[in-house]
Amino acid sequence: MAASNALTKKQADFVRQFLIDHNGTQAAIRAGYSARTAYSIGQRLLTKAEVRKAVERGDARRTLKAEYSAEIERTLTRYGATRFMYSWEEQRAVIGFELGGRTMRFDVPLPPKDAKEFFMTPGGRRRRSPADALKAWEQGTRQRWRALALGIKAKLEFVENGVTTLEKEFMAHICMPDDRTVSQHILPAIAAAYKTGRMQPLLPFEGQSHA
């Protein structure tokens, strides 16, 4: 989790460690505070409003991640996917898996918690309380995860029913040997082709001779 403007680096480290096991003493020690005073420091930090808010946000993210990653994993498992990987940063989530002999990765942009849409009521007439703003952000994030789950399921059903093939439907998300996805490779080339009117190599090894 990225450090908030209201937190020092050490306090942000404490929050990250506290979210692991909710043990204030151990979190303080792992964050670099003195073991001799870790208990009292942990208790004191947890009374600070900005630390409590950071913990609440972190817990909300963990809950959402567990809720929707489990749903996505159940869907993928039914279609034979294995080797799942998840990551969640402040404004980006990543889900990876293997299916049909290919490694796939979805990079999902998440709505920023400080977006106006969460802090203001519809129409921007009234400012929400911090608790209501957090709930609005959670709802916005749920919608993003839900859309991802439905999109992946639709792709899998297209493949299962013969509408398309696995590689065609998931092509943008296939990981290449350099760990970049096909879309990360070809989107700049597509933009350049439209700008110049000339075809561009879509992958770094296209047109190169191979021994």
The pTM score is 0.66
**pLDDT, tens digit (0-9, with 9 covering 90-100), for 73-110:** 899 999 999 999 988 777 888 999 999 999 999 998 88
Euclidean distance between CA atoms 25 and 95, whole angstroms: 32
**pLDDT, tens digit (0-9, with 9 covering 90-100), for 157-204:** 999 999 999 999 999 999 999 999 999 999 998 898 899 988 877 666
Q: What is the pLDDT of residue 144?
A: 87
Tally the residues of the chain: 211
For residue 31, which of 47, 13, 16, 49 has the smallest C-alpha distance? 13
**pLDDT, tens digit (0-9, with 9 covering 90-100), for 3-42:** 444 788 888 888 888 888 889 899 899 999 999 999 999 9
Q: Report CA torsion sign: 109, 115, 116, 121.
A: positive
Q: What is the pLDDT of residue 15?
A: 86
What is the pLDDT of the chain when averaged over all its residues?
A: 84
Q: What is the average pLDDT across 38-57? A: 87
Q: What is the pLDDT of residue 3?
A: 41
Q: Decide if 92 contacts 107 (C-beta within 8 A).
A: yes
Domains identified in the chain and CATH numbers: 1-47 (1.10.10.1400), 51-175 (no CATH), 183-211 (no CATH)
Ramachandran area for residue 195 (φ above 0: left; ψ -120 to 50: alpha; else beta): alpha
**pLDDT, tens digit (0-9, with 9 covering 90-100), for 106-151:** 998 888 877 888 888 877 778 888 778 878 888 888 888 889 989 9
With 0-12 CB in 10 A as exposed, 13-18 as middle and 19+ as buried, what is 163? exposed
Q: What is the pLDDT of residue 164?
A: 95
> Between 83 and 206, whose confidence is greater?
83
